[in-house]
Amino acid sequence: MKFSASAAAGAAAFVLAAIYLFVSAPPELPDRKGGGKLVPAETALALLDAESASIRSMYTREIVGEGSKHGLAFREDWKREEVKAGPLPALLLRETSARLQMRVPELGLFLGSDYPLVKENLFTGQQAAYYQEVKKTMQPKFYFDAAQGRTTAMFPDRASAKACVTCHNEHPNTPKKDWVLDEPMGATTWSYAGKQVPSETMLRMIAQLRSSAVDAYGSYLQKVAKFEGGTRPTVGDKWPREGNYLPDVETFRKAVETANSTRTLNGVLAAVSAAPAGEVKK
């Protein structure tokens, strides 16, 4: 049986996507351009944001929301030695971003707002203007910074869980106390050094994002291991909705894969199928 060139390319893309999206410990990005078809940077950033948003939503709902019911605390100063708490969802994203930045220097990730709990997350300058547009339309905003050679994508971030609303309304440093469900709370801003992404590089970036998020959760469990006596939840294969428990890293990883792999893989295949082959444009 003979296959057309497009069918062969599609099959190769499927195999490549399966390798990168279903492995639990992807290798570091090599110092090279990457191969495969060329995907618009906007498409790659949208896939990354969807993957990240799903992970953060699960953490907010299943760890912060359910854990709070059983006495677990989540604070912005969670890293202080004497504080027995875990990271707020925005801070888990910051931990993820820091790890991702080290592994994929050409990527940038920032969660900002016009009413942030911490001043470091306040949108300023042109980003603040772009965010007002995103806030009004609730649609992503894409733009290219010619001076820096970077494609930037800003995605609206809604109050998707009651835990988000409660935390922000009751926080002592909150600049806004009347948040409601589904209200825009800010935006995630991604940037990439270029206009197009080789498909192989895109797959590696998605895999590294997933690994970075799981590692960020693992840093919370390292803190939990230092909790004393009855304040320490049992870490294993159970979740906070079942009691004073936290999933271990492998259980959390599998939940991420279950929630995201099929959707992300379909998105990758759609992106690769639509993308032309050629040289990367800066």
pLDDT averaged over every residue in the chain: 85
pTM for the whole thing?
A: 0.82
Report the greatest alpha carbon distance in the chain. Answer: 68
pLDDT at 157 over 70: yes
Say what the pLDDT of residue 7 is.
41
CB of 6 closer than 8 Å to CB of 269: no
| 189, β-bridge pairs | 110, 154
Q: What is the pLDDT of residues 56-97, one digit of tens each?
A: 999 999 999 999 999 999 988 899 999 999 999 989 999 999
Say what the pLDDT of residue 78 is.
93
Confidence of residue 146 (pLDDT cuts 50, 70, 90): confident
Confidence of residue 31 (pLDDT cuts 50, 70, 90): very low
The owner of tokens 């995201």 is 260
Domain map (residue ranges) of the chain? 36-274
Q: What is the pLDDT of residues 165-187, one digit of tens each?
A: 887 888 888 888 888 888 888 99
CA distances from 256 to 54, 65, 200, 248 (A): 8, 17, 21, 12
